[in-house]
Structures are given as C-alpha cells and as structure tokens.
Amino acid sequence: MNRRTILTLLVLLLPLMLSGCATDGSTPSRFAPSDDAPVMPSRDFGKYIEGARNRAAYINRTTETPIPAQHLAAVGPFELRPRPKDQDCRGQARAPYDRGVLLIHGLNDTPFSMWDLGARFAAACYLVRGILLPGHGTIPGDLLTIGLPAWREAVARGIESFEGEADRLIIVGFDLGANLALDAALQRDRRRAEQRSRVGDGLELNGIVLLAPAFSYDPPPFPPAAVGPAGQVLWGAAFEKRDSLRYNSVAKPSVQATNQLGRDLLNVEAPLHLPLFMVLSAEDDVSDGSLAREWFCRQRVTPRHLLWYSRYPDAPLPDCSCTVERRDPRANERQVCVSVRPSSCVLPPSRNGGSNPLPSPENCRSNPYDGKNSDFGTAILDLGHIALLAAPENPRYGANAKSNDCLHYSFVKDTPKGQACAGKAGGDGSQALRYGETSEGNLQNYTLRRLTYNPDFDHMAEQMIDFLQRSN
C-alpha cells in the first residue's frame, strides 16, 4: 500500500478516531495547551532539572494517558559530570572543568534522545548538560502556543548555565536543536564583531555540532487532525498511540516555526567562525539532507567536517569541492572535510533463540535489497532521521529493544505488513522484515519497521569528539 492510499484512508478515518479518543467524544486534553509556564534553565542546573520534572509530572497527571512515572526522569533535562579513566578534566582551566557541551534535542523529542551522545562526551572529559525545550516533555498541545522565542530563551539560559563551570563550550543540536545551535553560534559571531568575543564572563564558545538540521522540515504527510479559528490547521497529525519519550502527534505551528528559523538561517550571509561538525543522512525523509549538505559545502570555516550516510556510498557529491573520504577513516588528515559511510547492513540471524548481534559496519554482510526469503537477520535498508542519535545498545530504541516503530501502519494495522511490523502472527511471510526510513519507496517495496538506532553510532561519536578536540 503506497503513501497516497494510506493518506486517503487517513482522511476518511481520522475524524472518527479523534472523536473516539476521549470518553466524552471531545478532543483529548493532551491536544490542548496546558497554559502552564515552562521551566527555564538556570545557573543552578540541579534546581532546573527538578523543576522541569515536577512540571512534567503535574501536567501529565491531568491527561487521559499520562507518561509512566518511571519515564518522567528520562523526558526531563539532565546533567552528566565527566567520568574519564585516569584523566584530569580540569587541566589549566580557571573553571572546575575545561570543556562543557550543551545538548539540544529535536522537535517533538525530549532530552532522552541525547543521552547516548551525552555519555560519550562525559567519558571524554566534558561537563554535559541536556536541556528540555519549552513545549516538550509534557503534552503535545503545549506546542500550539510555545515556539521560537521560548526556545531561544531556553538555549541562551542553557549556555549561561556553564558560566563559572567550564572554560570552553560546544553546542550540539539535532533537528530543531541543530537550528537553535546554529542560531546561537551566529548570534555569538555578531557579538564578537561588536568586540565581545566571549559568550559570557570567562566562557568561550568554540565549536558546534549539527545533526540533521531542520532547514526544511517535512514530517510525514498525514491529513489535518483539527482546524482552529479562521480555518487554521492546528495538527499535521494526531495519534491516539503515545510514545512516552517523544510526541507522535505533530503540531502545525511548531513545524512552521521550525521551518521559518531554517529559512532564516539559510539566508544568513555572514560566515561562521567556529569549528563545525555535521551529520546527515541522504535518505532522511523528514529533514532535507541535500539542502543541509549544500549549506555545509558553501561554508568556508576551517576546520569543518561532514559525516554523510548513504545507501549509495560511492555516489558523487557534486556540491563539495573539498576532499571527500569514502569508507576508510583518515582521522589525522585535516584537509578531508567530508567522510561517507554506508547506511545499509545485513546481519546473520540469531541462533538458538538468542538476541540478534548488535549491528555495525564491521559485521554487516550481504545486501538487504536482494531476495525475499533468505536467511536475513537484521536487514537495514538505510539510516533515517530519528535513527542518528541512538546507540545499538540503547534500552528503548536500540537493536534489542522491545519497542517497535510501526506508526506508518497505524491506520492500517490489521494488514499483513502492519502485523509483521508489530511482530504478530499472521504477518506477511512472503517478504523479510526490513528496517529503514519511512520513505515512499521503502513503504512500497518492503515490509518496513522504522529504524530507531544508528548501527554506526560508535564511529560517529568517536569521529565527532576527536574532531572537536583536535580543533581546539
């Protein structure tokens, strides 16, 4: 069933599903704003963490489907103190730590998505703080009224929280968080031009990491779920099913704000003056990877590095005139500004009922596009938008996690493909289950479960941190 057919079914079924979500026939309360002021980051980061979690707990107690209590801490902001082995993390720094990193999650997401990266940075001697963007971690309805001004304020306060704690700061953002990281860096450059070269008193911003920036954000084309005054579309999608660690439903105003910021950033002519590391997937079906790659290739900042994932790793990259490295890393070669990694992978099946081995490019074999009834274990077609951030061992979204992302079959779940994705009997046995992005081609050609982790995560994190340390 192709995306056009699914869209037609959604148009017919969605009003009925919405009316049935609440016991009184009204729209569920989580699709309306809570009107409760968000908690902003502060110098007392521990107090901020506690306040944000308490607010999330309070709001969720008022909804029909609250987040489980054991997940409330995971959706809130977090801090990780450096935990290296036999290493002094202060060095010659004036502050308690030499390096800090601010992690900014994406639209509809929560700080939990940044935990795996945060752990890698903490092991490399960074003071790690992940903030919760206002409107997230509570109920989807909060994104109807909370947008860019509050997001910018949260990022600015998150940066300020490192003053007196670290001498140098890296900002890492995913999706909307990448837009906000770049926005903050460009604002810093404007202040630098005005003879204020530091972010704050004693805190130097000296690098940014952009993962799948949302320069052009295009979530799956589900039909409007609700219309407000004067015909304003409020929801691009509204789902009864809820992932307790991120929103499934898509508020239109938040998408519009994200795209507006993306357009503004693309139109900025001032050059960037910070080391830049970017990670993109050619098969990203949510954020336009080619557009972000073109932006990267126009930059003249040195050093800069793009990690480009593609199911066709030998395809030419016409937009970049710099040195392109394919497959084999050469970490000490500074002139290399683009490295290409294959995103498809097939693992042998588990034996004796055990768990599948954790995938990585080193133990992949065969071709996921060949054959329907082979002895495939985990067959990964490509690396999509949400898969970049999670390590294969992630307990919620990793290779052996029990949660299956089958949202693309939500309204046709009784079909053989939907049942196969959910791991139920009666699924389509004529075609092996594949993992990848929910692109139209993948949905048409395969029984698909959305890939939620990055088989190449360890390499990505190692290359990212090595680049940042060598660049400063």
228 in any annotated domain: yes
The better pLDDT of the pair 115, 228 is held by 115
Q: Is the pLDDT of residue 316 over 80?
A: no
| pLDDT for 247 | 87
The better pLDDT of the pair 209, 245 is held by 209
Q: Is the pLDDT of residue 329 over 50?
A: no
155 in any annotated domain: yes
| pLDDT for 84 | 67
Q: What percentage of the chain carries pLDDT values higher than 70?
A: 73
Q: Give me the mean pLDDT over the 287-304 stretch.
A: 88
246 neighbors 109 (Cβ within 8 angstroms): yes
Q: Give me the mean pLDDT over the 194-216 stretch.
A: 79
Phi, psi of 250 (to 5 degrees): -115, 115
269 in any annotated domain: yes
Q: How many Å separate Cα 303 from the centre of its chain?
A: 24
| pLDDT for 26 | 54
149: left (phi over 0), alpha (psi -120 to 50) or beta: alpha
Q: Give me the mean pLDDT over the 424-444 stretch.
A: 73
The better pLDDT of the pair 321, 101 is held by 101
Q: Is the pLDDT of residue 40 over 70?
A: yes
| pLDDT for 319 | 66
Domain membership of residue 168 as a residue range: 18-274
List, in order, residues 6 or more apart from 297 with CB less than 8 Å away: 306, 319, 320, 321, 322
- The number of distinct structural domains making up the chain is 1
336 in any annotated domain: no
Express each pLDDT in 210-221 by its tens digit. Answer: 999 999 987 665
213 in any annotated domain: yes
SS3 sequence of the chain:
CCHHHHHHHHHHHHHHHHHCCCCCCCCCHHHCCCCCCCCCCCCCHHHHHHHHHHHHHHHHCCCCCCCCHHHHHHHCCEEECCCCCCCCCCCCCCCCEEEEEEEECCCCCCHHHHHHHHHHHHHCCEEEEEECCCCCCCCHHHHHCCCHHHHHHHHHHHHHCCCCCEEEEEEEEECHHHHHHHHHHHHHHHHHHCCCCCCECCEEEEEEEEECCCCCECCCCCCCCCECHHHCECEEECCCCCECCECCCEEHHHHHHHHHHHHHHHCCCCCCCCCEEEEEECCCCCECHHHHHHHHHHCCCCCEEEEEEECCCCCCCCCCCCEEEECCCCCCCCCEEEEEEECCEECCCCCCCCCCCCCCCCCCCCCCCCCCCCCCCCEECCCCCHHHHCCCCCCCCCCCCCCCCCHHHHHHCCCHHHHHHCCCCCCCCCCCEEEECCCHHHHHHCEEEECCCCCCHHHHHHHHHHHHHHCC
Confidence bin at 16 (pLDDT 50/70/90): very low
Q: Give me the mean pLDDT over the 386-402 stretch.
A: 89
Q: Which of 382, 378, 392, 381 is nearest to 347 (CA)?
A: 378
| Cα(364)–Cα(13) distance, integer angstroms | 41
Q: What is the pTM of this model?
A: 0.86
Q: Is the pLDDT of residue 331 over 50?
A: no
Q: Is the pLDDT of residue 142 over 70?
A: yes
Q: Give me the mean pLDDT over the 181-206 stretch.
A: 76
CATH number of the domain at 81, please. 3.40.50
Q: Is the pLDDT of residue 28 over 90?
A: no
288 in any annotated domain: no
Q: What percentage of the chain carries pLDDT values higher than 90?
A: 39
Confidence bin at 62 (pLDDT 50/70/90): confident
374 in any annotated domain: no
301 in any annotated domain: no
Q: Give me the mean pLDDT over the 133-141 stretch.
A: 91
Express each pLDDT in 249-280 by its tens digit. Answer: 888 899 999 999 999 999 988 888 899 999 99
The better pLDDT of the pair 264, 405 is held by 264
Confidence bin at 346 (pLDDT 50/70/90): confident
Confidence bin at 165 (pLDDT 50/70/90): very high
Confidence bin at 373 (pLDDT 50/70/90): very low
Q: What is the mean pLDDT of the chain?
A: 80
Which of 65-74, 307-316, 344-353, 418-427 has maximum average pLDDT?
307-316
